[in-house]
A and B are shown apart, each in its own frame.
Chain A
Amino acid sequence: MAVTYADLVAFGFAYVEDNVSANLKKQRLSNKKIPTPRLSSEDMCVCEEEDFIIFAEFSEVKGPVALFTVPSYIQHDEKTDVNSFIMRIMSVDYQANPGGHFCICQDTQTLQTHVSQTRHAYVHYFTLYDLHARGFVRPLCVAYVCSNIQKLSKIFPELRDQFLQLTETIKVNNRQHFRNEILTVLSSMKNMKFSSNDPAIKELSDEDLADITSNMSIHQENSSQQYEEFSFMLKAVEASLENVDYSISAVDHWHKAFTFCDETPGPKEIQGYLNLISSTSYRRQVNLHDNICMLEKQLRPIPVLSPWGIACALSLLLKMLHHFGHCELSATLGCFPSISISQSDSETSNRDTLSSTNAWEAILKPEYLQLLQAISVGAVDASMPSLDDQECDQVEGSSLKEATSGNEGSSSYHSFSDSPVDAVLKPQTDQRNYRTSSIQGSTDSSSDNNVGPNQQSGVFHDSFHTIAGDSVSPSQSECREDFHSILDGGSTPNCISEDTLINSHENGVQYSSKSSSSTSSESFHDILDALHSDDNWSIDSDEETLPLGVAWNHCLWTRHKLTRKSGHRLLKFFWTFRTAAQHVIYSILTGRTLVLTGDSSSERRVQRVMSALSPLIPPLDDSGLRVLRWHQGILVSAHIASYQLIGMCIPERLSIHDMISPRDKNSVTILDVNTESLLGPAYHGHLLAPIGDNVRDFPSDHSLLLFMESVLNGIGSKLQSYKALVAACQNELPSHACRQLNIHGCDADIIRYLSKLTF
């Protein structure tokens, strides 16, 4: 809330939460009677309603019932009525039951629009076999629910493939289980045949057998028919278990992992699950509920029918939601874009990693364990006609939601509001609080906080030890932070917003490039000053390591700040270094090492510029960017050779010329973050021409990053032509190719450098 509010005000909007309509667009191009609902820039993105997955059973006792949802809190969410939803997708039997013979049905898949008002669903129906169930079948479905029909339709083919694999594992494990049960029943029937009048046999048979046959009502008279029938079923099931080696190995893998966890003291959720699927617990449950209502039929929970298949499926579902759940209106940003044509390879490899699951990794993930717990509760709930667990379950669910839904902005805000200073300042606008929290960065490690492999941590640690002595205690820093924000707050975001507000009132247009040029650059300096002043605090905390070139994916139809994402503050970079920016990018794209210099108090500032620029730096290989985050001392050629980006401390009373040899100085580009002076080659050409003064008109880092990617893709297209031309006429010099494509001077440098890299 604080996030949205602050940003809205900053860009000249009144806060209009209620105006934001959740009524979203359904494309209806063709039907001219109903015009396309109008889009408004104030609308929320479709992804505001998050995707989720429902796993439901058509219980012969209770009708359609949800076993669990992914993420698990959805089931207890009041906004999404899961029950009415599954009523709609499960009220009709979608499995085409050929009737007659016992046969192994194939899965049915449907894509249904408007299942509820705004939700659409891909629903996958399948059947598990259970000797105790009516017709021996337990109809189930697993549905991917999404608010964006366009996206759902697009991912549908892939979704279908994934779900087919998912249910295959469940079904294979179920059939193994079913086969074993039939075998037991058959052997018991054999026994009954031979000693029909001897009741002692029944007592002699082991407990497990009694459990299975107790509900079967095997009559003496028609046992021969039943025997035939069971052997027929056995044949069918065994036939279906051929050629499914992949699924069988997956089942074994999960079996091993879980039994290992059973032997060693594993997480309690796994214990709970193992408890659920063990036959003794089932019998206990039955006995327990026998007293309550004798008449209702009691079925085993679904996990009992396919214990390892379900365990595997849970992990796959989590992966799938993670893979497909992101908004369609987003692009992977934060790292140098792939500007050659090899996307198909990455897509296929992506698919492979999606389908394979690793039990050892999965059982350590809290979200997986949560699901496991949810299914342990839900399964019993579904099969047993009792509602004991309902209440505590709901409480649990809501608390879970609280824990998972916080994003970095709000979480830092929450943690902040606990501080005493804040309590005093409550009547002040929340927006200032927000400002402080954004500067401070999130205090807890959010899920987005990727600690990438490309952080040269070793080097960094060297430097921070030297400064660590200066740092203050966290509680102090919080107070100081707040104090700063109050001092600066008056002049920082408000002056922009007032200005633009006036403008927008005057002519209804916010597009006044003149207005913000002075004010916002000022305000930026204010912010920088604010940063500057708190440069020397809490450098020792891990959060201060800003990500460099780490990819992220965000919906672009939100006004979220990209706090702690690489590329954050790129816009500020263009504002501050307006004359130098294009030349800096030229240096980066020609592979020159960029040295960011500043005095000893400028480390944070250097870090931020690094983080802002990192998405534009082409990595030399897969290991990511080569960065020396903060160097104190003389810069030698070995540094320059091994790093693309160097942060450098210039001690007082010294200049950069004292720290680097003249020869090395010519091979690097040096940007002083305080004086904004640049030492390096100047750019003149066409490729980077789109990055001109217009860049400062971009409203956010996000849009600017997207634009920069488009520029890089444009270069990529040129690069592709160059490569193709060089390949086509091998005898000719590369310079000839450049001339043919009308690439000259600085542009040729960029193309030649990038062509040497392999992306």
Chain B
Amino acid sequence: MGMKSLDALCSVDLVILFILIISTKDFRIFTCVEIGHILSNMDDDEFFTFYETLLENIYTQSQLSDESSSPSIRSVAMSANIANTVQEEVKHLIKVNPPLDESPIKYQVRKTSSELSDDNSDISDTYSGDHDYHSIEMSCSSICSHVLPNDDDSTVCAMVLSRWDDIMGPRTIRVWLPESVSEEESGPETEPLKFTTPKSVKAACQFSCSHQMSSKYNKILLMKAIKYVTSHTVNYTCVTGTSTPEQSNSALFIVPDLDMVAQSLMFHVPLSGSSPYSLALLVKYSKYSRFLPLRNLCQHWLERLSIRMAEFLLSVSKVHGIDGIEIPSSSMVDTWMVEMSHMLMSLEVNGLGDHCALQSYLSPTTLGNPLIERAVTSHLQTSGCTIVMGNNSSEINSMISFLALFLDKEAQSCSRLVFPGQKYTFQIGLFLQGLLLDEFGCRDLSYEELLDNPLPVTWVDLSKSNGAATAIRQGLPIHLHQKKVDHPENVMKVFKGESSIVHGLIQDLKRLPPYQWSGVVALFNQQLYKLALALLSVIHWNGVPSDHLKSYDNPTIRHLRSTLNIDEPTFLIVLAKAEKIRPGAYQLVMEGMVQ
């Protein structure tokens, strides 16, 4: 309270000092701290008079120096929350509490940079006038990995890993960005220093961008988006909330103001006292409609990633301790992210496209293939999850586009064709995908991946001679697949069933030109859907007896089949549909109720 004696003269001195500082900039941090110290000891009244004079001074100065610039000073009332956000963003830099004393700096900055940007300058120029962010720039390289493919077709524009810190709040731990940024950035200063001070990614990464205004603006938006995602995925509600580690929260954000669509997943590292983490995928807002049907696919990939990431973080914590804010950059983790990015890109490049494009691949020769009925039956029994492999890309594509008629819009968006000359690998979570066999008749496919797929897979091998018994193979039934039975050698069984209603459908389609197929198949799908609903209704009304023998001659199945008057392969199709409508139905019918 010694500061009580501070008189008006002193305040004026301070103001002059302050303005001096702004113009020289070199000692800003230091002086701001000092002023902050002084200010924090002031009375409220004193502070306000101080602030107002300061504001007045700066305003007149800016008017003198730049007549043409539009007036940009606003009232205290209006700037309150703006100032707050600014303070929030740079508080690590200027370690002072009074929220308002940063506004003058900002306004000053605005004036100097107003010629650079016009409309949205406020976003960029918060930082653009400053040159003393070296420390942050250093940290940028330690937080960001520029590894994702940078292509026009690339859907992902960033992956973000964040963590809730009990003291610091939401922290961005690591960001994966497209490659090119790192190229532009690879200046001489990236190497030398690695600060371990707390850092703001937002501020940091903004300096990694080029100096062109538009791309700079984009970068700033991206950084804002990253900050947004961090603060909204791991915040206090996820700590205080009702969610248990079992039900990991997922969220989808659509923020047009930040040009961002983000999907995030919260997860926990299996370690006592560990705080929640979140992994998020950022996509440009312009890709919203493209991204929409891919949400479930991305969700699945995020879940897989989060499981691996949790294991990774666990192993890291054994070395560095769990409190480490940083995680070391790991090429292994980087490849995971690249893998996901590649998967989304391959959908963009090789996707089925719209309805017309799909039609153009259909060919009557597909129906001439003797294994078509088995293929469709198995395709429907595995809920539309099918790999089509062969030597001839057009043959594969016409088969894929035919099988795609049985899928809904979302599943069609998560399917891809093949084009000659490219190399394809099996990608988890896709519905229909083609694989080109190489000259030795080999393909890139591991049983582990097949088991990791959310659904069991049908595999259609077109390279096998006509109607070969082993051409169609099918994964384990859905309920066993979900339990992950450890018999990799038995994963794919030769499939021989043939549904009678599928047979009837194929016979009819053979008489029709390909452009008429989709209508007939749509009604066929409706028939299956209604059958599935009827099945569910019967299950609910009759109930399912508890523990019947796990033999294949299951009385429930026998009864249900005779009630619906369908043969066994058709029944499994209907059951797969029912599982999709009401998860758990497959297991309920197959194994009965557990008491």
Interface on A for B, CB 8 Å cutoff? 11, 13, 25-42, 88, 91-92, 94-102, 105-114, 116-117, 134-137, 150, 153, 156-157, 160, 217, 222, 225-226, 228-229, 232, 328-329, 331, 337, 339-341, 504, 508-511, 556-559, 689-690, 692, 694, 697-700, 702-704, 706-707, 709-710, 713-714, 716-718, 720-721, 724-725, 727-728, 740-742
Asked if residues B482 and A556 are in contact (CB atoms below 8 Å), the reply is no
Q: Does B594 contact A (CB under 8 A)?
A: yes
Asked if residues A692 and B565 are in contact (CB atoms below 8 Å), the reply is yes
* 5 A-B pairs whose Cβ atoms sit less than 8 Å apart in the complex: A38-B588, A41-B539, A96-B257, A97-B81, A135-B81
For the complex, what is the distance from the CA of A203 to the CA of B584, rounded to whole Å? 73
Interface on B for A, CB 8 Å cutoff? 59, 70-75, 77-78, 80-82, 85-86, 110, 120-123, 126, 224, 228, 231-232, 235-237, 241-243, 246-247, 249-258, 292, 295-296, 300, 303-304, 307, 429, 452, 454-455, 482-484, 501, 505, 507-509, 511-513, 516, 519-520, 522-524, 526-528, 530-531, 533-534, 536-546, 548, 555-556, 559, 562-566, 581-585, 587-588, 593-594
Which residues of chain B have C-beta atoms less than 8 A from A137's C-beta? Answer: 81
Asked if residues A117 and B237 are in contact (CB atoms below 8 Å), the reply is no
For the complex, what is the distance from the CA of A141 to the CA of B334, rounded to whole Å? 37
Q: How far is the CB of B388 from chain A (nearest CB, A)?
A: 22
For the complex, what is the distance from the CA of A26 to the CA of B250, rounded to whole Å? 12
Q: How far is the CB of B583 from chain A (nearest CB, A)?
A: 4
Q: How far is the CB of A721 from chain B (nearest CB, A)?
A: 4
For the complex, what is the distance from the CA of A229 to the CA of B256, rounded to whole Å? 25
Which residues of chain B have C-beta atoms less than 8 A from A718's C-beta? Answer: 508
For the complex, what is the distance from the CA of A101 to the CA of B71, rounded to whole Å? 11
Q: How far is the CB of A321 from chain B (nearest CB, A)?
A: 21
Asked if residues A92 and B237 are in contact (CB atoms below 8 Å), the reply is yes
Which residues of chain B have C-beta atoms less than 8 A from A509's C-beta? Answer: 545, 548, 555-556, 559
Nearest chain A residue, comparing its CB with the CB of B232: A92
Asked if residues B588 and A108 are in contact (CB atoms below 8 Å), the reply is no
Q: Return the 5 tightest CB-CB contacts between A and B, nearest first.
A: A100-B122, A39-B584, A703-B537, A699-B541, A710-B530
Which residues of chain A have C-beta atoms less than 8 A from B565's C-beta? Answer: 689-690, 692, 694
Asked if residues B520 and A717 are in contact (CB atoms below 8 Å), the reply is yes
Question: Quick one: which of A28, A328, A713 contacts B526, CB cutoff 8 A?
Answer: A713
For the complex, what is the distance from the CA of A42 to the CA of B594, rounded to whole Å? 11
Asked if residues A742 and B541 are in contact (CB atoms below 8 Å), the reply is no
Asked if residues B588 and A40 are in contact (CB atoms below 8 Å), the reply is yes
**Residue from the set B303, B511, B526 with the largest chain A CB neighbour count within 10 Å:** B526
For the complex, what is the distance from the CA of A692 to the CA of B541, rounded to whole Å? 20
Which residues of chain A have C-beta atoms less than 8 A from B538's C-beta? Answer: 698-699, 703
For the complex, what is the distance from the CA of A116 to the CA of B587, rounded to whole Å? 28
Asked if residues A556 and B537 are in contact (CB atoms below 8 Å), the reply is yes
Q: How far is the CB of B333 from chain A (nearest CB, A)?
A: 19
Asked if residues B512 and A108 are in contact (CB atoms below 8 Å), the reply is no
Question: Quick one: which of B75, B528, B564, B582 contacts A707, CB cutoff 8 A?
Answer: B564
Asked if residues A100 and B534 are in contact (CB atoms below 8 Å), the reply is no
Given A30-B454, A134-B81, A509-B555, does the pair A99, B534 have CB atoms closer than 8 Å? no
Asked if residues A703 and B74 are in contact (CB atoms below 8 Å), the reply is no
Given A37-B584, A508-B548, does the pair A98, B257 have CB atoms closer than 8 Å? yes
For the complex, what is the distance from the CA of A117 to the CA of B243, rounded to whole Å? 7
Asked if residues A31 and B303 are in contact (CB atoms below 8 Å), the reply is yes
Given A225-B73, A341-B522, A694-B562, does the pair A135, B536 have CB atoms closer than 8 Å? no
For the complex, what is the distance from the CA of A37 to the CA of B587, rounded to whole Å? 10
Nearest chain A residue, comparing its CB with the CB of B122: A100
Asked if residues A29 and B508 are in contact (CB atoms below 8 Å), the reply is no
Given A110-B252, A134-B80, A699-B542, does the pair A35, B482 have CB atoms closer than 8 Å? yes
For the complex, what is the distance from the CA of A254 to the CA of B433, rounded to whole Å? 52
Asked if residues A556 and B257 are in contact (CB atoms below 8 Å), the reply is no
Asked if residues B542 and A714 are in contact (CB atoms below 8 Å), the reply is no
Nearest chain B residue, comparing its CB with the CB of A60: B81
Q: How far is the CB of A729 from chain B (nearest CB, A)?
A: 10
Question: Quick one: which of B78, B123, B562 contacts A229, CB cutoff 8 A?
Answer: B78
Which residues of chain B have C-beta atoms less than 8 A from A112's C-beta? Answer: 249, 251
Asked if residues B533 and A556 are in contact (CB atoms below 8 Å), the reply is yes
Asked if residues A226 and B501 are in contact (CB atoms below 8 Å), the reply is no
Asked if residues B77 and A135 are in contact (CB atoms below 8 Å), the reply is yes
Which residues of chain B have C-beta atoms less than 8 A from A557's C-beta? Answer: 536-537, 540, 582
Which residues of chain A have C-beta atoms less than 8 A from B247's C-beta? Answer: 26, 113-114
Which residues of chain B have C-beta atoms less than 8 A from A700's C-beta? Answer: 537, 541
Which residues of chain A have C-beta atoms less than 8 A from B501's C-beta? Answer: 714
Asked if residues A694 and B564 are in contact (CB atoms below 8 Å), the reply is yes
Which residues of chain A have C-beta atoms less than 8 A from B594's C-beta? Answer: 38, 40
Which residues of chain A have C-beta atoms less than 8 A from B295's C-beta? Answer: 153
Nearest chain B residue, comparing its CB with the CB of A46: B582
Q: How far is the CB of A153 from chain B (nearest CB, A)?
A: 7
Q: How far is the CB of A132 from chain B (nearest CB, A)?
A: 10
For the complex, what is the distance from the CA of A33 to the CA of B555, rounded to whole Å? 31
Q: How far is the CB of B334 from chain A (nearest CB, A)?
A: 22
20 additional contacts, CB 8 Å, given A134-B80, A724-B516? A27-B583, A29-B583, A30-B300, A37-B584, A41-B544, A91-B236, A94-B255, A96-B228, A98-B257, A100-B82, A100-B121, A100-B126, A101-B72, A222-B75, A328-B581, A341-B522, A556-B533, A714-B527, A724-B513, A725-B512
Which residues of chain A have C-beta atoms less than 8 A from B533's C-beta? Answer: 329, 331, 556, 706
Given A31-B307, A694-B565, A717-B505, does the pair A556, B593 have CB atoms closer than 8 Å? no
Which residues of chain B have C-beta atoms less than 8 A from A91's C-beta? Answer: 235-237
Asked if residues A724 and B541 are in contact (CB atoms below 8 Å), the reply is no
Nearest chain B residue, comparing its CB with the CB of A231: B71
